[in-house]
Structures are given as structure tokens and as C-alpha cells.
Structure 1
Amino acid sequence: MTFQKGNAFALAPGETIPTRGRPRSGRTIKRGVAKMLNQAAAPLCELAVRKALEGDAGCLAACVILLASSDVMIDRKAVTTEAPAS
């Protein structure tokens, strides 16, 4: 049994490996997505509120979750939890 001399994986002179550089980390990808969402936040929220007012249950749930998790002050007198008397 004979072995080749040298490194079998060595590149020939003038040969290069096609690379795209260092792969992006998860943190970098998350930062990029957060930046894009921050730029589009206002139109997305306006659309969600408009659809919630039209009766879309998913958008209503999203708006309620956003309100519950934010520091937005809600006028408690304007919000009623009881059904109107019939």
C-alpha cells in the first residue's frame, strides 16, 4: 500500500476556492430583520389596526397583544368591558 506524497487537498498554483466570505451569524441576521421591521413598523401597525376595525380576528388579537406589551397609556374611561344593556 503506497501513499501519495504531499497534501491531496492542496491547491495547484493559480487555483482558488470560490468563497463568499465568512458566513453571517444569527445575531447579525436578527439585527438586519429588526432594522427592516423598525423601518416598516408604522405602516404595518396602521394596516393591522384598520383590518382589526374591519373585523379581522387575527389583526385584532395582534393589536391587543401589542397594547398589552407596550407602555401606551389607555384611557380607561373610554374602554368598556361590559356588554351594553338591551
Structure 2
Amino acid sequence: MRSKKAIRRILPPDPIYGSRLLTRFINKVMIDGKKSIAQKLVYSALDQIKEQSKQDPLKVFETALNNVSPKMEVRARRVGGA
């Protein structure tokens, strides 16, 4: 058992856009510890957003995350029993 409670590490912001949210997303995309490949994928997707929509890619990313996130918390309903 752990003797002390683990301290939550503060993630550094990503080097290009300066967003901690983008750093978390890159870490979620990363497979087998290959962060540079995950960064290439995410940054190339953001570059495509910049070229095609002519908008700020970070704003588009944040609105996409807001659209995907749940608006209401759903709790499990207990069914059955003895």
C-alpha cells in the first residue's frame, strides 16, 4: 500500500499553442509512449483546420471538445435485489 497520497502532476502547456488541454489530448492520443508521433498527428490535424476553415484551430478544438462532452451527469439505476 502507498504510504502517502500521490501528488497530481501539473502538465506543462504544449510548446506551439500553449494549451494544457491540448497537452492532455496529445497524451490520450499517444500509444506505447511515442509522444512525438502523437504530436505530429495532432499538430497536422490542427494545421488542416487552419487551412480549411481559416479559423483559430485552438478555438475549433475547444468547441469540438465542448460539443462532445456530456451536458448532464447520468447516474446508474439500481435494479433487482434479493
Report if TM-score (shorter chain) is over 0.5: no
TM-score, normalised to structure 2, is: 0.32
TM-score, normalised to structure 1, is: 0.31
Flag the structure with larger Rg: 1
